A and B are shown apart, each in its own frame.
Chain A
């Protein structure tokens, strides 16, 4: 039985900036129902996440937050279609997810997700061309537009190995966004960056979101990043990952850091994740 009442969500995308408040869609974009994920090591079968349920609505910046080993990355890969749940299901716009597809573009943590043999522009054009929905000219225009948004127009003809880590991640984000996917999946995209670059990238992601209002599912193990980037946080318990809580956090950005409300939320999450004993399994809220 689910303690989480989805009706009670009152967060709206306008919490941070103020484009006209959008009418709340009554059907979730992505539904996860009782998803259990397992993977095999040569010795054993490991349960990564256990009966996880949540809803993502259009326009959400939905963050999966939890300590390492809570199966958050596995959940994201499963939504990406790379891992099939052993129990439960994901549905996107009402249709169950089977296999990887360009309607769920992913941004990975690793810098080598870009294709080294393609220039920055060609990298962004590649999924567009592969989808078969765009002519070369259309793909080029669209890719240029998105490169412009991540401020990499100057580097469009460079090869990825000449870029810095932050620039590579921006290309990956542009590549994923150019497809205008139903949902953007980000797997700790800033975790391998230095602290200053990471902070700037978080701000840039929020700016992009303000101008485009896409739906993003963001995995992180940093409480601070979750609060800044997300509008709603799904808190996963340590191994095996179960849903501990769903929290709203659309009111915060970097400017609120150090403020009382920000710190209180940070403490609350920290308490839920680490201070409570594992014995009560995080089953009561």
Chain B
């Protein structure tokens, strides 16, 4: 028969330490080194990535030495400068932005209405789910030919395709966010006597804001893409034409550095909106509220 080991806890004397005051422990807190503190700043790290990318671009462009195919970073910046100062870049940016903001605004308003309707009853939520699964995968640019037939060659058909590209991702994200709001938070809201629109606006929207914000970002990016692509397809939407038309024109004239300047403008505006506007909103809302790191 195998003998079974029995573990017996050995009795030891109790110990009662007398702790000296905490000040005698010595260094409790030490400041980080300058390098560590600088690299802890978000924008410094991001900016250094951008500088690194620009340097690679410059080196590769010089190595290739073919301004027609791949202008250097310096050429592109120069073209951007010229187009801004002497050329018509700014009015074109404005003309694009105007259409973009119009489409984005209408898209957001429609998304807000649809998702509010979707939380209020089951039919609404089924409707929205069906719509988003039907239309979200449909590229907005594929609707452009129809849009041109319906609304003509002009701003309205651009706005239509932008609304289409903004509406579904934003509505989908908003609905997902609403569904994730916890039961106790919902009950706490209704307990205060809230219902209907004020319940959605004061409880669901802020509680679902991380998800809504993600939807807003995706919607913004989709709107930009759709707009530039649509302008490339049929060019002049208003008297001056937009940024897409700027790119298209200069490609026809084989001014590749200006094409790059146009693309860079799109990127710069995108960076600004993402890093300054959306990041600012994020810091003031979801990060401060502890809903997102």
Q: How many residues of B contact A (CB 8 A)?
A: 20
Pick out which of these stretches binds chain B: A14-22, A98-106, A241-249.
A98-106
Is there an interface contact between B187 and A106, defined as CB atoms closer than 8 Å?
yes
Given A105-B191, A130-B192, 4 more contacts at CB 8 Å?
A113-B185, A113-B188, A116-B291, A130-B202
Q: Is the interface of B mostly helix, strand, loop or mixed?
A: helix
Any chain A CB within 8 A of the CB of B289? yes
Is there an interface contact between B285 and A117, defined as CB atoms closer than 8 Å?
yes
Q: How far is B184's CA from A100's CA once the two chains are assembled, in angstroms?
A: 13
Question: Which B residues are in CB contact (< 8 Å) with A127?
Answer: 191-193
Q: How many residues of A contact B (CB 8 A)?
A: 26
* Contacts between chains A and B (CB distance < 8 A), count: 67
Q: Can you report 25 A-B residue pairs in the complex whose CB atoms are below 8 A from each other?
A: A82-B187, A101-B193, A102-B192, A102-B193, A105-B191, A108-B184, A108-B187, A109-B184, A110-B182, A112-B185, A113-B184, A115-B203, A115-B207, A117-B206, A117-B209, A126-B192, A127-B191, A127-B193, A130-B192, A130-B193, A130-B194, A160-B290, A161-B289, A161-B291, A162-B290
Any chain A CB within 8 A of the CB of B190? yes
Any chain B CB within 8 A of the CB of A283? no
Q: Which residues of A contact B (CB under 8 A)?
A: 77, 80, 82, 100-102, 104-106, 108-110, 112-117, 126-127, 130-131, 159-162
Any chain A CB within 8 A of the CB of B288? yes
Question: Which B residues are in CB contact (< 8 Å) with A126?
Answer: 192
Q: How far is B187's CA from A159's CA once the two chains are assembled, in angstroms?
A: 20
Question: Which A residues are in CB contact (< 8 Å) with B207?
Answer: 115-117
Question: Which A residues are in CB contact (< 8 Å) with B191?
Answer: 80, 100-102, 104-106, 127
Closest to A80 in B: B191
Question: Which A residues are in CB contact (< 8 Å) with B187?
Answer: 77, 80, 82, 100, 106, 108, 113
Question: Which B residues are in CB contact (< 8 Å) with A130?
Answer: 192-194, 202
Question: Which A residues are in CB contact (< 8 Å) with B202?
Answer: 130
Please encode chain B, from 196 to 220, with 1 for each CB lying within 8 Å of some chain A CB and 0 for all others: 0000001100110100000000000
Looking at the assembled complex, report how far the CB atom of B210 sits from the nearest CB atom of chain A, in whole angstroms: 10
Question: Which B residues are in CB contact (< 8 Å) with A117?
Answer: 206-207, 209, 285, 289, 291
Question: Which A residues are in CB contact (< 8 Å) with B190?
Answer: 82, 100
Looking at the assembled complex, report how far the CB atom of B179 sits from the nearest CB atom of chain A, in whole angstroms: 15
**Contact residues, B132-157 vs A (CB, 8 A):** none
Closest to B291 in A: A116
A-B residue pairs, 4 tightest by C-beta: A161-B290, A110-B184, A117-B206, A127-B192
Please encode chain B, from 56 to 97, with 1 for each CB lying within 8 Å of some chain A CB and 0 for all others: 000000000000000000000000000000000000000000
Is there an interface contact between A112 and B184, defined as CB atoms closer than 8 Å?
yes
Question: Which A residues are in CB contact (< 8 Å) with B184?
Answer: 108-110, 112-113
Question: Which A residues are in CB contact (< 8 Å) with B289?
Answer: 116-117, 159, 161
Is there an interface contact between B193 and A131, defined as CB atoms closer than 8 Å?
yes
Contacts A159-B290, A160-B290 known; A115 to B193 CB distance under 8 Å?
Answer: no
Q: How far is B193's CA from A130's CA once the two chains are assembled, in angstroms?
A: 7
**Contact residues, B102-132 vs A (CB, 8 A):** none
Q: How far is B184's CA from A109's CA once the two chains are assembled, in angstroms?
A: 8
Question: Which B residues are in CB contact (< 8 Å) with A109?
Answer: 184
Looking at the assembled complex, report how far the CB atom of A158 sits from the nearest CB atom of chain B, in whole angstroms: 10
Question: Which A residues are in CB contact (< 8 Å) with B188?
Answer: 106, 108, 113-115
Question: Which A residues are in CB contact (< 8 Å) with B285?
Answer: 117
